[in-house]
């Protein structure tokens, strides 16, 4: 072959600066591009062989080698695939991906938001120039009688082509690493980049560093004793490609560990396997939460034909599913389009709906067939399910019948079950607890009255119950400290006339001197309760919400507090008698204040000032006892 040089056939001289600038934040994708080209080259050759169009020696071991030499400052990607003839190099390399480059320039030259594109415009090979100031191709085509070709380009629009001395079929891409690409000469960086993008590529990839001995597997059998076999850095047949019927639990768990480095086993998983109307394979795992305060944080890795594309693309995967961990491979995925386009893409919506349905089906079948496990998992999976219900109407409709509520009796029930079994006592009302410690007194009081509440301690629960109330307008949720159910009260007995009630109220009002405090006199079944605080459900929720959204300012939603005094409590009765004696006014005031503080205390911690007064008063009372 003659020496040849020429100009790259693109209409702009400025493509390289743009590629460099544009893709700068994703500099590492050059690895993805070059290794996937190598893998494509091998897959193409295999395909030709099966079609009888290429002869390959029997003992061929297809593989890709990635060589990093930090002394020579080069990185090489070597394959024994299809190779290229000089004609092909001219066609596929010199005419930069035909119109692809122009499209790219047209669409993106003015954009600054680099997140806009996920894929690329057939510029894969040229991404090499993000890290190299010179790139060399040495290639020998599989075709009989082909001549090896060398191609060199220094990142300008000029290239040089000549005969190469390559002897074996395949292609070597050599990158002479530039200033910008130095960190990829670091073995660790390069290795982890390979692991990120190429973990599941269909051809074995070997990492080599001529300045370091290769990583080897310990020989574990006699046969292997004298040949230490290097290990590929990837897994060319990842589990998600296997048919679900052929996978064992152990394999699923091992794959989870391998991909997510999470050594806690997942709770369960869903193997997605679909061919029609679109192709998609993958495994979604429900991770175990490490502690009760941890919010779920998932990771969904998206692959396209075993090449990693990106994590957590929320335009493709329903947002709530991002709380799970998993891998998904969508071979037909339109990668080279902008993210805003994806949101409105029918194909993408179909994927999204399909996954949502699969997840709901799996949960439903667990509920139906493995109720015990489902309950066991509930504490780990409920934030995910509730979030899903909030974000996705269809998921809500599918899942709502299987949302569980843990009760103060210690079992798990559905909403319908709870309503049904409490129908006689409080129809259509669900009492709930948000903090079992803080609301312990109320829970105790509930139990005394043979009532049950559900336990809803998570941040997601408040928006979730509001959602249920919106969907089922007849149902209302009330926190245990917001209202008294009729079953907690008893018939007025003769002792309590309206007049008595009035005077007890007056006694407290005068002692506490709080104008805006509502005081309510009741006959509670539990005699041992002297007073308790009720907090209007509505104003408390408003308050909670403004806290959550960070726009809380004091006084915006004043707390609507009610002090309930139990007329049947012996202490209250004695206090009422005492009050009739004019001389005891001071004691009455002190005891009223004290009862109020006690009620407050079983509701929430006292503020500093009240706490001070409370302690002082306690001392006074103790001093009195001693006489």
| Residue least distant from ligand ADP (Cβ) | 124
| Of positions 28, 33, 380, 392, contacts ligand ADP by CB under 6 A | 33
Instruction: Name which position in 82, 239, 415, 430 contacts ligand ADP (CB under 6 A).
Output: 82
Pairing verdict, β 404-407 and 454-455: antiparallel
Beta sheet of 531-535, edge-to-edge order: 518-522, 561-566, 531-535
Q: Does 122 bind ligand ADP (CB under 6 A)?
A: yes
Q: Which is nearer to Mg ion, 26 or 505 (CB)?
A: 26
Q: x/- string (CB under 5 A) for Mg ion, residues 504-533?
A: ------------------------------
Examine residue 124 and tell whether it contacts Mg ion (CB under 5 A).
Answer: yes
Q: What is the DSSP letter of 298?
A: -
* Least distance CB 14 / ligand ADP (angstroms): 18
Q: How far is the CB of 221 from ligand ADP (least distance, A)?
A: 35
Question: What residues contact residue 32 under an 8 Å CB cut-off, 6+ apart?
Answer: 197, 198, 307, 308
The nearest distance, CB 10 to ligand ADP, in angstroms, is 12
- Stretch touching ligand ADP by CB under 6 A, among 122-130, 150-158, 435-443, 505-513: 122-130
Q: Which residue is nearest to Mg ion (CB)?
A: 124
Query: Who contacts 492 (Cβ-Cβ below 8 Å, separation ≥6)?
Result: 523
Buried b (16+ CB within 10 A) or exposed e, 203-240: bbbbbbbeeeeeeeeeeeeeeeeeeeeeebbbbbebbb
Of the residues 171, 193, 305, 536, which one makes contact with ligand ADP according to CB under 6 A: 171
Neighbours of 374 (CB within 10 A): 20
Binding segment for Mg ion (CB under 5 A), chosen from 33-41, 204-212, 279-287, 558-566, is 33-41
Q: Which stretch binds Mg ion (CB under 5 A): 46-54, 117-125, 220-228, 501-509?
A: 117-125
Question: Site for ligand ADP (CB under 6 A): how many residues?
Answer: 17
Q: Name which of 276, 280, 254, 278 is nearest 266 in CA terms.
A: 254
Among 37, 408, 462, 530, binds Mg ion (CB under 5 A): 37
Q: Tell which one of 38, 67, 304, 322 touches ligand ADP (CB under 6 A).
A: 38
Which residue lies nearer to Mg ion by CB, 124 or 266? 124
Q: If 0-12 CB within 10 Å is exposed, 13-18 middle and 19+ buried, where does residue 439 land?
A: buried
CB 508 within 8 A of CB 565: yes
CA dihedral 16, 17, 20, 22 (to 10 degrees): -110
Q: Decide if residue 100 touches Mg ion (CB under 5 A).
A: no
Q: Is the Cβ of residue 124 or residue 287 nearer to Mg ion in the bound state?
A: 124
Taking contact as CB under 6 A, which single stretch among the options 117-125, 338-346, 436-444, 516-524 is the one that binds ligand ADP?
117-125
84 binds ligand ADP (CB under 6 A): yes
Give dist(CA 413, CA 407) in Å, integer: 7
Backbone conformation region of residue 514, classed left if phi is above 0, alpha if psi is from -120 to 50, else beta: beta
Stretch that binds ligand ADP, among 55-63, 90-98, 211-219, 298-306 (CB under 6 A): 90-98
Residue found by looking up tokens 């799970």 in the block: 324
Q: What's the closest the beta carbon of residue 92 comes to ligand ADP, in angstroms?
A: 4
Integer angstrom CA distances of residue 216 from 208, 353, 548: 11, 45, 53
Dmax over CA atoms of the chain, in Å, equals 122
Give the Å distances, CA to CA, from 269 to 241, 301, 313, 324, 325: 15, 15, 20, 10, 9
To ligand ADP, the closest distance from the beta carbon of 329 in angstroms equals 18
**Residue 132 contacts which entry, ligand ADP, Mg ion, none (Cβ below 5-8 A, type-dependent):** none
Beta bridge partners of 476: 429
Q: Which does 84 bind (CB under 5 to 8 A by kind): Mg ion, ligand ADP, none?
A: ligand ADP
Binding residue for ligand ADP (CB under 6 A) from 28, 70, 79, 392? 79
Choose between 193 and 482: whose C-beta lies nearer to ligand ADP.
Answer: 193
**Piece of 31-39, 256-264, 361-369, 607-615 that binds ligand ADP (CB under 6 A):** 31-39
Angle (CA) 493 496 498, round 5°: 130
92 near ligand ADP (CB under 6 A)? yes
- Determine if 97 is a binding residue for ligand ADP (CB under 6 A): yes
Nearer to ligand ADP, 140 or 327 (CB): 140
The stretches of 155-294 forming alpha helices (DSSP H) are 187-198, 249-260
The residues, ordered by sequence, that sit 6+ positions from 481 with a Cβ below 8 Å of its Cβ are 439, 442, 532, 533, 534, 535, 603
Name the one residue in this structure whose structure tokens are 């790259």.
Answer: 8
Binding ligand ADP (rule: CB under 6 A), the pick from 37, 356, 439, 482 is 37
With CB under 5 A as the rule, give the number of residues binding Mg ion.
2
Kindly state whether residue 463 participates in binding ligand ADP, applying the rule CB under 6 A: no
β-strand 299-304 against 325-329: which pairing, if any? Answer: parallel
Q: Choose the stretch contacting ligand ADP; rule: CB under 6 A; options: 123-131, 297-305, 418-426, 591-599.
A: 123-131
- Report residue 476 as tokens: 């209302």
Closest by CA to 512, choosing from 561, 555, 552, is: 561
Under the binding rule (CB under 6 A), the answer on residue 334 touching ligand ADP is: no
Residues that bind ligand ADP (CB under 6 A): 33, 37-38, 41, 79, 81-84, 92-93, 97, 122-125, 171
Q: Which residues bind Mg ion (CB under 5 A)?
A: 37, 124
């Amino acid at each position: 072959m003659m020496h040849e040089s020429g100009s790259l056939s693109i209409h702009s001289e400025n493509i390289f600066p743009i590629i460099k600038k544009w893709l700068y934040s994703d500099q590492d994708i050059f690895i993805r591009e070059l290794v996937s080209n190598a893998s494509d080259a091998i897959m193409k050759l295999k395909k030709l062989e099966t079609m009888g169009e290429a002869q390959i020696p029997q003992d061929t071991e297809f593989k890709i080698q990635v060589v990093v030499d930090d002394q020579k400052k080069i990185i090489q990607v070597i394959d024994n695939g299809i190779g290229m003839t000089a004609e092909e190099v001219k066609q596929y390399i010199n005419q930069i991906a035909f119109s692809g480059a122009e499209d790219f320039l047209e669409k993106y030259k003015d954009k600054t938001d680099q997140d806009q594109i996920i894929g690329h415009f057939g510029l894969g090979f040229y991404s090499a120039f993000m890290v190299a100031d010179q790139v060399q191709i040495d290639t020998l085509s599989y075709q009989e009688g082909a001549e090896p070709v060398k191609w060199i380009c220094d990142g300008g629009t000029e290239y040089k082509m000549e005969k190469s001395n390559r002897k074996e079929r395949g292609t070597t891409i050599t990158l002479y690493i530039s200033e910008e690409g130095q960190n990829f000469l670091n073995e660790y960086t390069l290795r982890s980049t390979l692991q990120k993008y190429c973990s599941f590529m269909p051809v074995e990839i070997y990492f080599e560093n001529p300045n370091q001995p290769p990583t080897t597997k310990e020989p574990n059998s006699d046969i292997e004793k004298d040949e230490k076999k290097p290990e590929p850095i990837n897994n060319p047949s990842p589990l998600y490609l296997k048919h679900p019927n052929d996978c064992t639990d152990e394999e699923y768990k091992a794959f989870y560990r391998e991909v997510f480095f999470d050594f806690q086993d997942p709770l369960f998983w869903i193997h997605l396997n679909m061919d029609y109307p679109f192709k998609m394979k993958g495994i979604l795992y429900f991770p175990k939460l490490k502690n009760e305060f941890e919010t779920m944080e998932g990771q969904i890795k998206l692959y396209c034909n075993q090449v990693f594309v990106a994590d957590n693309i929320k335009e493709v995967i329903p947002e709530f599913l991002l709380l799970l961990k998993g891998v998904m491979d969508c071979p037909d995925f339109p990668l080279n389009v902008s993210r805003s386009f994806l949101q409105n893409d029918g194909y993408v919506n179909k994927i999204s709906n399909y996954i949502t349905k699969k997840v709901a089906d799996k949960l439903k079948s667990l509920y139906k067939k493995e109720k015990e496990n489902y309950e066991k998992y509930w504490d780990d999976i409920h934030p995910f399910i509730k979030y899903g219900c909030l974000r996705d109407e269809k998921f809500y409709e599918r899942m709502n019948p299987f949302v569980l509520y843990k009760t103060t009796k210690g079992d798990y029930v559905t909403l319908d079950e709870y309503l049904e079994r409490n129908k006689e006592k409080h129809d259509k009302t669900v009492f709930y607890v948000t903090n079992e410690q803080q609301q312990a007194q109320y829970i105790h009081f509930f139990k005394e009255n043979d009532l049950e509440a559900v336990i809803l301690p998570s941040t997601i629960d408040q928006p979730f119950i509001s959602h249920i109330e919106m969907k089922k307008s007849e149902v209302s949720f009330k926190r245990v400290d917001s209202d008294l159910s009729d079953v907690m009260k008893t018939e007025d007995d003769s002792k309590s006339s309206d007049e008595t009630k009035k005077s007890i109220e007056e006694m407290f009002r005068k002692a506490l001197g709080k104008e805006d405090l509502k005081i309510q006199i009741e006959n509670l079944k539990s005699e041992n309760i002297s007073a308790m605080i009720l907090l209007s459900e509505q104003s408390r929720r408003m308050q909670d919400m403004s806290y959550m959204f960070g726009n809380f300012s004091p006084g915006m939603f004043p707390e609507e507090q009610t002090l309930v005094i139990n007329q049947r409590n012996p202490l209250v009765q004695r206090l009422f008698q005492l009050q009739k004696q004019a001389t005891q006014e001071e004691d009455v005031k002190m005891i009223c204040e004290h009862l109020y503080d006690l009620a407050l205390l079983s509701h929430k911690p006292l503020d500093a000032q009240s706490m001070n007064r409370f302690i002082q008063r306690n001392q006074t009372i103790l001093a009195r006892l001693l006489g």
